[in-house]
Amino acid sequence: MRKFFILGAFTMLMGCLQTTTAQAQQGDDANIINADKFSEQQLAQLEKHIPTDGWVLLTYQGRSMIVNCSNKDYRLNIGINCKSGKTAPYFMIEYSNSYRDGDWGGLDYAKSKEPTYAELKVSLDGKSFGNPFATKDKALVQQFADALKTAKKLSMSFYDMEMNPDLGKEAPKLNRTIEFKMAHPALLETRVECNN
């Protein structure tokens, strides 16, 4: 299981794009991490070796990714400022080593590009944005991206379809809501590949 997690961590790091923008460099230097200096063990336990107060810019072999480990049970990888203007923003949530018995670390919970959930509702400081990762409406995506830079809390609510006896048909039922802190928003300006 540990080998699988280490490979997953490397895959996650390798799947992102190189170079950062000058705006991201204005962020807190403690939240800009060169993962080339990490051992395999440190990569496998990423959340123990990086800040957990909000956004972190990880670089690895000249590539960049934005992660958030502020939720002890989950790690969020996000791309808002996409290198290609034709590509929608993306997210990927993985279980951390702290989830349950620790054997889930590195496994995917949810991805915007391969949704396994029936519905996603995203809110910033309580304001709903629906699912900004599923829309091709550039104005809505930009509105979400702008709000992301000033918000304090990101909430992502995942729904499954279940039989609702009151309605006599299947209806969305909340599976879980995952929340992340939002410190260091300047790092979101980093241009990343959004096809992970």
Give the torsion through C-alpha atoms of 41, 46, 51, 55, to 10 deg.
150
List pLDDT tens digits, range 60-114: 777 788 999 999 999 999 988 877 766 678 899 999 988 888 788 888 999 998 9
Q: Does the pLDDT at position 11 exceed 50?
A: no
Asked whether the beta carbons of 126 and 167 are under 8 A apart, the reply is no
List pLDDT tens digits, range 177-194: 999 999 999 999 888 767
Is residue 141 within a helix (H) or strand (E), and if so which, with residue range?
helix 138-148
Report how far apart, in Å, the C-alpha atoms of 108 and of each of 76, 77, 112, 137, 179 are: 10, 11, 11, 27, 16
Asked whether the beta carbons of 111 and 92 are under 8 A apart, the reply is yes
What confidence score (pLDDT) does residue 124 get? 97
pTM for the model stands at: 0.80
Residue count (the chain): 196
Q: Residue ranges of the alpha helices (H) in 15-129?
A: 22-25, 40-44
Give the torsion through C-alpha atoms of 24, 88, 84, 62, to 10 deg.
50
Residues 150, 7: Cα–Cα separation, whole Å: 34
